């Protein structure tokens, strides 16, 4: 299971993604790994890249938009 999703509550909320169970969290993890183009990377490596993107201007909004797109969730911008 992904070690970094607990830090992305604000991104998931912006994306309209509310993973309730273990399988849904795995789906969000797979989507985030695709977004940062690191499907086979270890959790810490993925988090490092995600964190780097969060520190960019509009980084959270861009991650949320991509996450919404990948998961098919509805957002509330």
pLDDT 10s digits, 6-48: 899 999 999 999 999 999 999 999 999 999 999 999 999 999 9
Confidence of residue 73 (pLDDT cuts 50, 70, 90): confident
Q: Would the pLDDT of 77 be above 90? A: no
pTM (predicted TM-score):
0.85
Domain ranges, ordered by start, for the chain: 5-71
Q: Are 28 and 5 in contact (CB under 8 A)?
A: yes
Sign of CA dihedral 47, 22, 28, 10: negative
pLDDT, position 74? 65
Task: Give CA separation, 26 vs 21, 55, 56, 71, 73, in Å.
Answer: 9, 24, 25, 11, 15
What is the C-alpha separation between 14 and 60, in angstroms, rounded? 8
């Amino acid at each position: 299971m992904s070690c970094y999703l607990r830090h992305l509550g604000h991104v998931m909320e912006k994306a309209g993604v509310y993973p309730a169970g273990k399988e849904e969290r795995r789906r969000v993890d797979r989507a985030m790994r695709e977004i940062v183009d690191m499907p086979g990377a270890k959790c810490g490596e993925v988090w490092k890249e995600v964190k780097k993107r969060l520190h960019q201007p509009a980084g959270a909004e861009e991650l949320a938009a991509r996450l919404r797109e990948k998961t098919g969730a509805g957002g509330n911008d």
